[in-house]
Every structure is written in C-alpha cells, then in structure tokens.
C-alpha cells in the first residue's frame, strides 16, 4: 500500500477517522530534506502495511491543516491514534527511530 495523499478536505476521514494508527508526513515539494525523507516514509508504508496508515500532506496545498497542527518546520511527522496526536518527530529522522515510535503505538 502506497502512502495516501491527504488534503484539508479528506484529512478528517483519512486520519482522524482511521481505525488503525496513522503516520502523517507534513512536507512540501520545494523542501530538500523532505525529498530525502520520502524513501524512508515509503519504506515505512510498505513495512507496516495493514497495521499503520501512512499519509502525506503537502503543507502548501493544505495550509489549514498544517496551521491547525502548528507545523512551522518540515519535514514533520505526527502519529495519530484514535484521532489524537500520540507522538511526533521533526526533521529528517532515521527509519529505525520512526520504527521505535511505531512499535510503541501499534
């Protein structure tokens, strides 16, 4: 399962309404570290398919959601469970660090 692209219009349904934990990658096309981080996010989506939903949200296309979650630097990752943020990470993070967080919430 590939990452799901979310926008302001489907964020609530895809993320807050999910019955499994969700990793949300806040990013932008112009962000170099975000592009470097993309393969890590893809690997996570593949490894945890069925146990974790992985969503990508372009902060330039979903400013309302980015503002709601106080995204001021990217890449930023927020982990949601039961519609609530349960953990977060800022900047480029090694895959092993993300997996440690994921293992605690799934």
- For the stretch 94-106, pLDDT in tens is 999 999 999 999 9
Q: From residue 23, how far is each of 55, 73 by CA, in Å?
A: 6, 17
Pick the catalytic residue from 6, 34, 52, 101: 34
The answer to whether domain 4-105 has CATH 3.40.30.10 is yes
Q: Is 36 helix (H, G, I), strand (E, B) or coil?
A: helix
- Selected catalytic residue, list 4, 8, 28, 31: 31
Q: What is the CA radius of gyration of the chain?
A: 12
**Residue ranges of domains in the chain:** 4-105
- What integer is the mean pLDDT of 48-76? 97
- Whether 31 is catalytic is yes
pLDDT at 1 over 70: no
How is the beta sheet containing 76-81 ordered, strand by strand?
A: 4-5, 53-58, 22-27, 76-81, 84-90
| pLDDT digit string, tens, across residues 7-39 | 999 999 999 999 999 999 999 999 999 999 999
55 as an active site residue: the answer is: no
Q: What is the pTM of this model?
A: 0.95
Mean pLDDT for all residues in the chain:
96
């Amino acid at each position: 399962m590939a990452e799901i692209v979310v926008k302001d219009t489907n964020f609530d349904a895809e993320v807050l309404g999910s019955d499994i934990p969700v990793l949300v990658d806040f990013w932008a096309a112009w962000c170099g570290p975000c592009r470097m981080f993309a393969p890590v996010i893809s690997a996570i989506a593949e490894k945890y398919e069925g146990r974790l939903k992985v969503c990508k949200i372009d902060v330039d296309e979903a400013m309302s959601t980015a503002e709601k979650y106080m995204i001021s630097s990217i890449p930023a990752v927020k982990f949601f469970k039961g519609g609530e943020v349960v953990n977060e990470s800022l900047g480029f993070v090694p895959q092993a660090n993300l997996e440690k967080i994921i293992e605690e919430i799934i």
